Amino acid sequence: MSPSAVSDRDPIAAIATAPGRGGIGVVRISGTGLDPVIAGLLGSAAARLAPRHALHCRFLDDSGRVLDDGIAIFYRAPHSYTGEDVLELQGHGGPMVQRMVLARCLQAGVSIGLRPAQPGEFTRRAFLNDRLDLAQAEAVADLIDASSEAAARSASRSLAGEFSAALAELAAGLTGLRAHVEATIDFPEEDVEDLGIAEARGGLDRLAAALDEVVRRARLGAVLRDGLQLALIGAPNVGKSSLLNALAGREVAIVTAHPGTTRDRIERCIDIGGLVLNVVDTAGLRATEDEVERIGIERTLEAVAQSDLVIELIDASGAGPMGAAPPAWRQRLGRNAGELTVLNKIDLTGQAPGRHGERLFVSARTGAGLDELRAELLRRAGWDRAPTDEGVYLARERHLRALTRTGEHLHAARAQLAAGMVQLELAAEELRLAGQALAQITGQVSADDLLGEIFGRFCIGK
């Protein structure tokens, strides 16, 4: 059933626990007029169901036979996750028994139009009923998907409203500054005109500085949320797979002395200091007539195009088939991507590990220089300035785009203020547009198709 074919006012039901067997399974129902469902599922025990109190009871089918034995909890609106009346049935975690309970709920709720929930619909209801703003709602999914402790903590803080509070402070500053500019337009006495514009410029500078700090934390959070895309490239047999294994702390790629062992990209997630690296070990770059190896090399170049950072690995001993990879990969490097040259196998040369100029010298076999490499990766991600995840906003790409638009409008407003009284109306308009861009993050300004895209990526039952 498509989102356009349903109503946000329909009562909804879904299994809220992950698929598979478990100790506990939860079926969640949200909407208004849930009395027929409660009576149908709980029978005479329904009379003992009090809001926000756990009731041990049996869940019954339409003939009064027991489907399961568990706990029922009722949350009366607006004091629930969705802001509506919510019934949670906590029973045994077998897939079949959960499906049976859900089917019985839908059967008992036919008279009120109860239907299966769509992905993310419970959280969508929470947003629509002002229980969460849009940034907090997205933090729910981020908390579920968190791949590191730091990401989970940051998502929890966003869910608690830390990111939203920072945005609210910026919005309040924009509103106050816009009011000041419009007051200067409405009361253009010459003796206060210059003072009004000067105060507006000072306020705009302070606001821009505050925005820059939010953007910095949001960019760090985007890296924390999505990880840093890192590609290992180089000529065959320079030790790319060995370096991947060394960074991962376990053998995740096959290592042999035979050039061309890696024919396809190998992807692994590695946690370094709370930062997730999505590392791609690629096929060695060299001229070849082998069709399979050529396909692997093309996939290497695709990995380069998708990467935030590319490590070019070179054999420091010079024993490999060529010192460095052919330079064609640089043509695929993204505009904002970085590159780092690392010389491997210093255990064969006696060179000292660490940084020498713009290059890092390491030994994937002995581990020499790997601490320096890890520190450099954190620095390249900006994570060296955030030794803990405190104050980092777990931002998404749409958040960064909105913050960028906000900054562009502030920059335009500054240019209008520089022109003096004649351009004040245009400055006020730029401040209005800046506030509108900022409001898109929390959902104060949002389109239905955006909501569909966001909540459609949630799991069913959340």
Tens-place pLDDT, residues 77-130: 999 999 999 999 999 999 999 999 999 999 999 999 999 999 999 999 999 999
Residue 107, domain member (yes or no): yes
Q: Residue 29: inside a domain, yes or no?
A: yes
Residues 45 and 184 in one domain: no
**pLDDT > 90: what percent of the chain?**
40
Is the same domain home to 95 and 160?
no
Across the chain, mean pLDDT equals 82
Residue 462 within any structural domain of the chain: no
Q: Are residues 272 and 333 in the same domain?
A: yes
Cα–Cα distance, 448 to 440 (Å, whole number): 12
**Which is nearest to 338 in space by CA: 371, 381, 373?**
381
Do residues 75 and 52 make contact, with C-beta atoms less than 8 angstroms apart?
yes
Stretch among 70-74, 156-160, 404-408 having the lowest mean pLDDT: 156-160
Let me know whether 303 and 158 are in one domain: no
Query: Is the pLDDT score of 177 beyond 80?
Result: yes
Domain boundary among 81, 100, 132: 132
Q: Is 50 a member of any domain?
A: yes
| CATH number of the domain that residue 284 is part of | 3.40.50.300
Q: Do 365 and 307 reside in the same domain of the chain?
A: yes
Residue 449 lies in a domain: no
Domains in the chain, number: 3
163-176: pLDDT as tens digits: 999 999 999 999 88
- Cα(379)–Cα(374) distance, integer angstroms: 9
Q: Indicate whether 330 and 307 sit together in one domain.
A: yes
**Could you say which of 366, 385, 404 is where a domain stops?**
385
The 10s digit of each residue's pLDDT in 37-86 is 999 999 999 999 999 999 999 999 999 999 999 999 999 999 999 999 99
Is residue 455 assigned to a domain? no
Would you say 45 and 29 are in contact if contact means Cβ atoms under 8 Å apart?
A: no
The Cβ-side half-sphere exposure at 81, using a 13 Å CA radius, reads 20
d(CA 89, CA 49): 12
What's the DSSP call for residue 210? H
Q: Collect all residues with Cβ–Cβ distance below 8 Å to 156 and sequence separation of at least 6.
A: 139, 143
| Same domain flag for 59 and 175 | no
pLDDT of 313 over the 90 cut: no
Give the domain-ending residue among 346, 364, 385. 385
Contact 11, 113 (CB under 8 A): yes
Average pLDDT over residues 262-268: 59
* Structural domain boundaries enclosing 118: 3-132
CB 74 within 8 A of CB 38: yes
The model's pLDDT over 229-262, given as tens digits with 9 standing for 90+, comes to 888 888 778 888 888 888 877 555 444 444 444 4
The tokens 């399979």 sit on which residue?
Answer: 292
Domain identity same for 12 and 105: yes
Same domain, 299 and 238: yes
Instruction: Report yes or no on 243 lying in a domain.
Output: yes
CATH number where 155 lies: 1.20.120.430
Residue whose token pair is 């041990």: 56
SS (HEC) of 238-258: CCHHHHHHHHHCCCCCCCCCC
Q: What is the pTM of this model?
A: 0.70
Same domain (yes/no): 248, 353: yes
Same-domain check for residues 11 and 80: yes
CB of 429 within 8 A of CB of 417?
A: no
Decide if 214 contacts 170 (C-beta within 8 A): yes
Q: How far is CA 174 from CA 94, 202, 414, in A?
A: 53, 13, 13
Domain co-membership, 218 together with 306: no
Q: Residue 162: inside a domain, yes or no? A: yes
User: What's residue 295's pLDDT?
Assistant: 59
The CATH number of the domain holding residue 96 is 3.30.1360.120
